[in-house]
């Protein structure tokens, strides 16, 4: 086996043996502009455990990193915290190569792995179950819908180490193993993007999981997620948990996202006037033309915003396809506590604006009016109305912020 890929030691008994995907730019529709890592961990206790695996094409990298420390066949137990294929894709081949005594997952995980790979040898563990590795133990914490039904965390009390699966992770390819060696702004940007695009629809179950961890009173010296760098300083762990609490609450702020597409420039002119109106009304506008903004970057801006204003021209009695794309995506992510408005241009029937308005209403966005629809090309009066719409949204936003 080649010795290019080495394990990296995290604690006395734990090694990082994952894979770095420098080239990934699309994670099921989420633009991963900085790539990602698939983290797997090797626990060298009296018995040897592998926590999670990696995406299928990276199997050899995982096995090489393991082999840099021990013969992979010495692994006694494999733990699958999450069945999604970026962590389980090579699991059937790894099981075949390692021949472990046991492979464990949550009850839903065992079923999900069977449904993915026809793996029938997975042992289901209960919430709170403990696996004895001799001088180390692994405790399993079921966290359904954080972020799949099968999701669980694994805690190792002897080193106060939480294998947190997708929680507290981010898509960031880096050779640097630890959070504290990376700039905070980069971590905040990528952790927020991950939360917005993967976890935002699940703030209910996430809040419950956070409460479950906090109530258990377990100490956390290290939090090791399945993507991105590892958290090991108390101040960093407190910071990311605080961020999760804040992102779950989604209290409105004065940030206002204006996103739109345009055919002949009319909807764009309205967007620019609305942006000026928002500013005049005291809001902090972020104008995001969809020709230059990926849906996942719009979602990231919406997390932590208080207003969402969406513009679309009418194309063949519909909203514009790019606007439908971003609205379908945002609707699924269920952002909370937003005020907003629809706007756009049309030729003979204002169907685009109506569809945007109806979609925002279905998303429970508190709308200021029925939507601003302008025929063909905005007049000065229309642009004044757009500016006034921005001011009105800012006013509603101020009231929402005051209510908290």
Partner 1 sequence: MKTYVCDVCGYVYDPEVGDPEGGIEPGTRFADLPDDWVCPECGAGKDEFSPEE
**Residues assigned a catalytic role:** 28, 82, 84, 86, 147, 166, 194, 227
The count of chain residues that interact with partner 1, using the rule CB under 8 A, is 7
- Indicate the pairing of strand 77-80 with strand 284-289: unpaired
Stretch that binds partner 1, among 12-20, 118-126, 144-152, 311-319 (CB under 8 A): 144-152
30 vs 200: CA distance, rounded Å:
13
Asked if 144 touches partner 1 (CB under 8 A), the answer is: yes
For the chain, helix (H) and strand (E) counts, in that order, are 12, 24
The nearest distance, CB 296 to partner 1, in angstroms, is: 22
Token code pair at residue 213:
């961890």
Stretch that binds partner 1, among 138-146, 180-188, 235-243, 385-393 (CB under 8 A): 138-146
SS3 content of the chain, % helix, strand, coil (to 5): 40, 25, 35
User: Which C-beta is closer to partner 1: that of 128 or that of 204?
Assistant: 204
354 vs 48: CA distance, rounded Å:
60
User: Which C-beta is closer to partner 1: that of 84 or that of 142?
Assistant: 142
Asked if 111 touches partner 1 (CB under 8 A), the answer is: no
Token code pair at residue 297:
């970057």
Q: Are 82 and 140 in contact (CB under 8 A)?
A: no
Stretch that binds partner 1, among 17-25, 141-149, 154-162, 264-272 (CB under 8 A): 141-149
Q: Which residues of 74-91 are buried (b: 16+ CB within 10 A; e: fewer)?
A: ebbbbbbbbbbbbbbbbb
The nearest distance, CB 129 to partner 1, in angstroms, is: 16
Element (H, E) at 300: helix 295-302
User: Which C-beta is closer to partner 1: that of 35 or that of 149?
Assistant: 149
161 vs 266: CA distance, rounded Å:
55
- Give the footprint of partner 1 on residues 184-213 (CB under 8 A): 202, 204-205
**191, 19, 90, 50 alpha-carbon torsion, rounded to 10°:** -90
Q: Are 31 and 56 in contact (CB under 8 A)?
A: no
Strand partners, 137: 132
The nearest distance, CB 148 to partner 1, in angstroms, is: 9
Asked if 335 touches partner 1 (CB under 8 A), the answer is: no
**345, 264, 285, 184 alpha-carbon torsion, rounded to 10°:** 130
53 vs 371: CA distance, rounded Å:
49
Q: Are 307 and 397 in contact (CB under 8 A)?
A: yes
User: Which C-beta is closer to partner 1: that of 81 or that of 382?
Assistant: 81
The nearest distance, CB 149 to partner 1, in angstroms, is: 5
User: Which C-beta is closer to partner 1: that of 137 or that of 336?
Assistant: 336
- Give the footprint of partner 1 on residues 269-308 (CB under 8 A): none
- Give the footprint of partner 1 on residues 371-390 (CB under 8 A): none
User: Which C-beta is closer to partner 1: that of 89 or that of 205?
Assistant: 205
Asked if 59 touches partner 1 (CB under 8 A), the answer is: no
Stretch that binds partner 1, among 58-66, 115-123, 142-150, 163-171 (CB under 8 A): 142-150
The nearest distance, CB 207 to partner 1, in angstroms, is: 12
Q: Are 121 and 114 in contact (CB under 8 A)?
A: no
- Contact residue for partner 1 among 56, 69, 70, 145 (CB under 8 A): 145
The nearest distance, CB 151 to partner 1, in angstroms, is: 10
User: Which C-beta is closer to partner 1: that of 205 or that of 378?
Assistant: 205
The nearest distance, CB 249 to partner 1, in angstroms, is: 17
- Contacts for 67 with CB less than 8 Å, ≥ 6 apart: 1
Stretch that binds partner 1, among 10-18, 46-54, 139-147, 317-325 (CB under 8 A): 139-147
Asked if 149 touches partner 1 (CB under 8 A), the answer is: yes
The nearest distance, CB 99 to partner 1, in angstroms, is: 33
User: Which C-beta is closer to partner 1: that of 69 or that of 145?
Assistant: 145
Distances (CA, A) of 94 to 13, 45, 81, 183: 21, 20, 15, 35
Question: Residue 329: helix, strand or coil by DSSP?
Answer: helix
User: Which residues contact partner 1 by CB under 8 A?
Assistant: 142, 144-145, 149, 202, 204-205
């Amino acid at each position: 086996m080649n010795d290019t890929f080495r394990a990296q030691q995290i604690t006395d008994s734990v090694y990082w043996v994952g894979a770095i995907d420098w080239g990934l730019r699309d994670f099921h529709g989420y633009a991963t502009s900085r790539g990602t890592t698939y983290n797997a961990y090797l626990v060298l206790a009296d018995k040897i455990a592998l926590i999670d695996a990696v995406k299928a094409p990276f199997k050899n990298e995982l096995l090489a990193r393991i082999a840099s420390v021990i013969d992979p066949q010495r692994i006694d137990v494999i733990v699958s915290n999450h069945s999604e294929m970026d962590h389980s894709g090579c699991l059937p081949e790894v099981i075949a190569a390692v021949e472990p005594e046991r492979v464990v997952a949550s009850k839903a995980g065992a079923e999900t792995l069977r449904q993915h790979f026809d793996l029938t040898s997975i042992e289901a563990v209960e919430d709170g179950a403990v696996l004895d590795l001799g001088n180390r133990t692994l405790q399993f914490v079921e966290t359904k819908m954080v972020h799949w039904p099968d999701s669980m965390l694994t805690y190792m009390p002897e080193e106060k180490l939480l294998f947190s699966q997708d929680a507290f992770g981010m898509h960031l390819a880096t050779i640097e193993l630890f959070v504290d060696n990376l700039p905070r702004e980069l971590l905040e940007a990528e952790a927020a993007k991950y939360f917005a695009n993967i976890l935002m629809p699940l703030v209910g179950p996430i809040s419950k999981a956070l409460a479950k961890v906090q109530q258990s009173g377990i100490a956390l010296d290290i939090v090791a997620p399945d993507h991105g760098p590892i958290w090991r300083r108390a101040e960093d762990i407190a910071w990311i948990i605080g961020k999760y609490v804040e992102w779950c609450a989604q209290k409105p702020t004065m940030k206002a996202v204006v996103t739109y597409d345009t055919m002949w420039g009319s909807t764009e002119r309205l967007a620019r006037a609305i942006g000026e109106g928002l500013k005049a009304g005291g809001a902090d506008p972020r104008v995001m033309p969809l020709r230059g903004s990926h849906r996942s970057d719009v979602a990231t801006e919406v997390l932590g915003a208080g207003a969402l204003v969406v513009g679309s021209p009418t194309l063949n009695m519909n909203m514009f396809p790019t606007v439908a794309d971003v609205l379908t995506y945002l609707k699924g992510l269920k952002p909370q506590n937003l005020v907003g408005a629809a706007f756009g241009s049309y030729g003979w029937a204002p169907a685009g604006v109506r569809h945007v308005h109806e979609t925002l209403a279905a998303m429970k966005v508190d709308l200021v009016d029925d939507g601003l629809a302008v025929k063909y090309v905005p007049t000065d009066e229309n642009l004044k109305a757009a500016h006034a719409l921005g001011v009105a949204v800012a006013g509603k936003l101020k009231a929402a912020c005051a209510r908290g």
